[in-house]
Amino acid sequence: MQTVTLNNGVEMPILGFGVYQIPPEQTEQAVTDALAAGYRLLDTAAAYRNEEAVGRAIESSGIPREDLFITTKLWIQDPGEDNTMRAFDTSLRKLGLDYLDLYLMHQPFGDVYSEWRAMQDLYHQGRVKAIGVSNFYPDRLVDLIDNNDVTPAVNQIETHPFFQRTADQEIMRERGVQIESWGPFAEGKNNLFTHPDLSEIAGTHGKSVPQVVLRWLIQREVVVIPKSVRPDRMTQNIDVFDFELADDQMARIATMDTGGSLFFDHRDPAMVSRLGRLRVND
């Protein structure tokens, strides 16, 4: 598996398995199948409500802990340093782990600075190998970096052919932050799976459109965590290291960028309020 090196020297697989929107009752089997297919990076979150199922799959896999890279995320209902520590402990207990490889702040809202101070403490204590953020636009990311001791190792953001985030990625590169994609297939929006340009490129390589999208992200040095509950698609999604997109194909995909989210805008006041009202640990 190809890896990227984070700003603290930690090696992170460039391709992993995400469990967003997989129901808890299906998650254990999905993660079991993903691990059998060769995935070693697993991405979950307190807000997904399936950390326990991920933990059961990890425990039953028999894979040595040091061979896995486990990410989970802090939800914004847990403001303050003490609450952040408790939220971390809860996630760790549900996952059945002694440490995390990556702990992310899930949203750029709420008591961000006290939460980050606590996350820095967790990092310095060795309870997590790297800390980062999710859904941070460049202005919020730079502000967090400039006013704290530890620079986020990762920023996980919506990234796919229709919202490519190239300018965001350049700022992250300048600041030593690794970009990670969520929603790499845009959940099929804009007819991604049958898009003529992607389909033609896929035919050239004897690959599928999802494989082309994943390869495009990997060649951009974007960490990506596709999701599926089907073992055949899991196997297909990880089979992207035996071909390479040509420069003209990369450029062709670049023309698909709309420059905007296909899901929701984290700068929309109504969305900020909606996310702030979502409770995870009631």
Number of other residues whose CB lies within 10 A of the CB of residue 262? 15
| Per-residue model confidence as pLDDT tens digits over 99-116 | 999 999 999 988 999 999
In CATH, the architecture of 3-277 is Alpha-Beta Barrel (3.20)
**Quick one: pLDDT band at residue 191, thresholds 50, 70, 90?**
very high
Instruction: Given the residues 48, 103, 123, 137, select the one marked as catalytic.
Output: 48
Average pLDDT over residues 249-261: 95
The answer to whether 48 is a known catalytic residue is yes
User: Quick one: 247 exposed, middle or buried, by C-beta within 10 A (0-12, 13-18, 19+)?
Assistant: exposed
Tokens of 248: 């003209």
Tell me what pLDDT residue 78 has. Answer: 64
The percent of residues in the chain predicted with pLDDT above 70, rounded, is: 99
CA dist 90 and 157 (Å) reads 24
Higher pLDDT, 262 or 221: 221
pLDDT digits (tens, 9 = 90+) for 72-85: 999 876 678 999 99
* Domain residue limits, the chain: 3-277
Note the pLDDT tens digit of each residue in 31-61.
999 999 999 999 999 999 999 999 999 999 9
What is the pTM for the complete model shown?
0.93
Q: Average the pLDDT over 227-238 and give the result.
A: 95
